[in-house]
Structure 1
Amino acid sequence: MANRVRIEQYSNKKEILKFNDFVSTTVNVTDVGVTAVDGKKILKAGTIIGGKTKSVLLNTGEVVEEKNTTTKAPDAEGVLLYDVDVTYGPREGSMVIYGYINIDKIPKAPVAEVNLPKITFMK
């Protein structure tokens, strides 16, 4: 009898939610402007995002990009729920538009200009 090799992969998604009470929507995450680390371009869970040129909530075909900067923060629309690998181009992701986010589990605290009234950041 031939030896069989069993390969198992385990991966856990990073959990950014403080409570399991949230609303999210599907978005297209752009690969433009995402810096590659170890050959992978990954936009991290907890990244504050919004439509690249217009509101993604009003224009479902619009791609999203990071908005956690002083100049882009006013256009923030939500928080990326899970990591999205955009190494080979834009990919689908989930954007939280209502919920409670654990601020200790996101890559960068929101800048003061971020205005997401339906999202609560807490420890």
Structure 2
Amino acid sequence: MSFWLKNLKPGRAEIRFPKFQLRKSCSLKSLLRSSGVSSVFSNSADSSGVSPRTVRLVKALQEVSLEVDETMSEDRGISDVTLDFSVPPRVTFDRPFLLIIYDELTRFILLMGKITNPKDI
């Protein structure tokens, strides 16, 4: 990942994705416990800020979903347009590919997925 980030260069390209959906759900219980957040899963959890009764967490689930369709999007509301008469290169994702959504501010990978056969989607 660090290699790809170091070699990114700004530019223009026409990018064509196939229509696809990625969905993943996973339990965060073991991750939270290993991070030191284990008391919320016990009967002695301090839930005084949430409820007057004793509350404990039974499950901690996360679900991620990404949907991409083939419709073209247009920028709207742009008042300052730069005319560029050069033709941008076209990148068509018609073979297996990895998809990574990365947050530059936190430097975290938010989503990683693999499309094995885009023509079957």
TM beyond 0.5: no
Higher-Rg structure is 2
Structure whose residues are more often helix by fraction: 2
Q: Normalised by the size of structure 2, how large is the TM-score?
A: 0.22
Q: Normalised by the size of structure 1, how large is the TM-score?
A: 0.22
